[in-house]
């Protein structure tokens, strides 16, 4: 799978519905639900070295989900700096891609990883009460 999410149009204004990590499997999961609740995707990151989620609350609206793979770019260096400050044990490891979920409102995430895949879940019209 190419390192962009263009095939899913955009995750802008989707809901950041959940996050889970499994340290034994070095895996992190981001659950995303479309704003009309018709689509549900889980982004599964493998070979995860470090991750950070901040400001996660009851409502979390995605601004963007970006893959940073240009290790010399200012965005990559800024994301790496955030991970270095939050989890300094990985700062000396070889460079990896970083997924950055920025928010219009609520939770944000930084995930340092090796590979990812996107899984679709079939939850058509599971509207809130």
Q: For residue 53, give its domain range.
A: 14-120
Total domains, the chain: 1
Residue 128 lies in a domain: no
Residue 4 lies in a domain: no
- Tokens representing 115 are 């590979």
Check residue 93 and give its pLDDT: 84
Confidence band for 89, pLDDT divided at 50, 70 and 90: confident
The CA-based dihedral angle spanning residues 67, 72, 76, 77, taken in that order and rounded to the nearest 10 degrees: 170
Query: Residue for token digits 């899913």?
Result: 8
pLDDT tens digits along 67-84: 999 999 999 999 999 999
Give the up-direction half-sphere exposure of residue 111: CA atoms within 13 A in the CB hemisphere. Answer: 28
């Amino acid at each position: 799978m190419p390192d962009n999410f263009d095939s899913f149009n955009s995750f802008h204004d989707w809901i950041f519905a959940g996050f889970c990590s499994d340290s034994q499997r070095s895996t992190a999961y981001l659950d995303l639900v479309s704003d009309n609740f018709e689509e549900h995707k889980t982004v599964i990151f493998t070979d995860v070295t470090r991750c950070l989620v901040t400001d996660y609350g009851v409502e979390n609206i995605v601004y963007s989900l970006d893959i940073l793979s240009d290790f010399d770019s200012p965005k990559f260096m800024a994301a790496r700096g955030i991970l270095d400050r939050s989890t300094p044990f990985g700062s000396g490891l070889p460079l990896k891609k970083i997924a950055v979920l920025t928010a219009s409102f609520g939770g944000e995430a930084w995930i340092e990883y090796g590979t990812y895949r996107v899984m679709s879940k079939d939850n058509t019209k599971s509207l809130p009460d």
